Each structure stands twice: as C-alpha cells, then as structure tokens.
Amino acid sequence: MSKSAEALFLALALAATAPVMAGAAWAASDAPKVATAPQAAPAQPPASLPVPKVTELGRPALKEEIAAWNIDVRPDGEGLPEGHGSVSDGEQLFLDNCATCHGEFGEGAGRWPVLAGGRGTLKSERPEKTIGSYWPYASTVFDYVHRAMPFGNAQSLTPDQTYAIVAYLLNLNDIVPADFVLSRENFPKVALPNNPNFFDDDRTTSEKEFWNANPCMKDCSGPMKVTARAAILDVTPDEGKDAPKGNLE
C-alpha cells in the first residue's frame, strides 16, 4: 500500500471514531450530574428494649359480666339462684324439654343417659349410675341442668324451671315426695343415697406402702401375666402369638 493510501485509510478511521471519543469525553466532563439517593446504613437493633410498666390491655370486668359466668353451684348451696319449683311443674317441663333424650321417666331413650333407677346395682356386673344410685350431691344435678341443658339450647331454662325439673328428677329417684317444692332454702337439706360412699382422696396414706423411692425406669416389663379377665366386654387378649408383651399385673 502506498503512503498516500495509508494516509487516506488513517484519516477515515479517525473520522469514524471521533464521535465515540467525543461522546465519552462529554459524558466524563460536561454531562449534567444526576443526583442519586445515598445508601442508608443498615438498621442496628437497640441495645435494650424498654419494658412497659403497664400493659394497659383490656379493662376490669363488669359485675354483670362476672355474674353471667359465675353460675356454678356447690354442694352446700353456694351459687344457687333465688327461686323455687315443684315436682308437678317439673314433670311437664321435663316432658317438654328432656324426655326426648332421657325418656318420660328418666329411663333413657336410645343411648342417652339414664337418670333414674339403678338402686343396688353398683356392685353388679352392669352398674346403673343414675342420680339416685350413684351421684353424691343434688347440686350436681342443678348445676348441670342449669348450665348445659336442654341439649342444643343450654341456659334457656329460668331458675324456677330448673328447680322444678330437679325436683321432678329427685322424685323419680324416690328422694322427695310428689308434693315437694324445691327452693334455695331447702336445697342443702336434700341428701342423695350414695353420698356416704364417697370419700376424700387418701392415697397419701392408704397407698403409701406401695411407693418406691427408686422406681424402675428402664427395661422394667417382664412376662405378661393375666390376673383378671374383662368378661363382660371381652377385651382381654387371648394367650398366643398375638398377645401383647408386658406385665398386666
């Protein structure tokens, strides 16, 4: 290539790159500056969080709100509302509100609980645990009826209606006569037949001889030995390869 041709080629190359170089120079010097937000420093947790002295959550319960929840009844009559109800009034109320499940005479309908009868069955193979045969206190009857019955419409009964239904149930169990009127005043005098057979938990004395200061905590089970059989329910496993291992004594 001649010198004239080389000069021409160099001139063309410089002309082609001049706009790019000029643009770069302009960007580096004369271009307007665009402000950017400064990078915020990472948030640092406080050295210690202040503990509020008063939470200021909620408010004191109103007397009416406490009364709405405080409806339990104790064996000595504490918690009973003012009111009264007769056996005769309770019979009709029971038929209207309770007999569908418990039967007209407390005998139980279908698989619903039996409320009357069962005297003398507690030591039998099939004990009937009713108000008259098993329950210790009449307050249990009143508390449950007042708080949870009728099923699906709990706490819809007035105190007078509850007294009447309880009086009828006591009469069905031969505890009060047919002309009896149950009230807050005479309620604590009602005694259920099985009450004397209940006693305080005395395991701290009656079972103390069985306590072991160093009980076995590992590999304690031995060969299984059946000492009694649940004949009524037939749930005791038979001996054989499918019998569970362990000590059933």
Unique residue bearing structure tokens 């569908």: 100
What mean pLDDT do residues 79-90 have?
A: 97
Closest CA to 84 of 11, 41, 1, 142: 142
Would you list the domain boundaries of the chain? 71-197
pLDDT digits (tens, 9 = 90+) for 35-53: 555 566 666 656 666 666 6
**Coil, helix or strand for 183?**
strand
**Average pLDDT score over the chain:** 82
Position 217 scores a pLDDT of 83
pLDDT for res 28: 47
Taking the CA atoms of 200, 190, 126 and 99 in sequence, report the sign of the dihedral they define: negative
193: closest CA among 118, 122, 117, 136?
136
pLDDT of 66 above 90: yes
Using alpha carbons, select from 114, 119, 166 the residue that is nearest to residue 138. 166
Q: How confident is the model at residue 241 (pLDDT cuts 50, 70, 90)?
A: low
Q: What is the pLDDT of residue 249?
A: 44
Q: What are phi and psi of 35, to 5 degrees?
A: -75, 135
Q: How far apart are CA 230 and CA 249, in angstroms?
A: 14
State the alpha helices, DSSP H only, in 86-200. Answer: 87-97, 99-102, 138-148, 159-172
Instruction: Please compute the mean of the pLDDT values over residues 120-138 and round it to a whole number.
Output: 95
Across the range 205-232, mean pLDDT stands at 78
pLDDT at 7 over 60: no
Return d(Cα 226, Cα 231) in angstroms, integer: 13
Is residue 174 within 8 A of residue 63, CB to CB? The reply is no
CATH topology of domain 71-197: Cytochrome Bc1 Complex; Chain D, domain 2 (1.10.760)
Q: What residues have CB less than 8 Å from 138, skipping those under 6 apart?
A: 166, 170, 175, 187, 190, 191, 192
Give percent of the chain with pLDDT exceeding 70: 71
Structure confidence at residue 227 (pLDDT): 76
SS3 8: helix
Q: How far is CA 62 from CA 67, 69, 82, in A?
A: 9, 11, 21
Here the tokens at position 59 are 């408010």
Q: Which among 161, 165, 24 has a CA at the least distance from the CA of 81? A: 161
H-state helical runs in the chain: 3-29, 63-69, 87-97, 99-102, 138-148, 159-172, 203-206
CA distances from 101 to 90, 94, 105, 114, 117 (A): 16, 10, 11, 9, 16
Q: Which range, of 4-18, 31-45, 156-170, averages the lowest pLDDT?
A: 4-18
pLDDT in tens, 202-216: 888 888 888 888 888
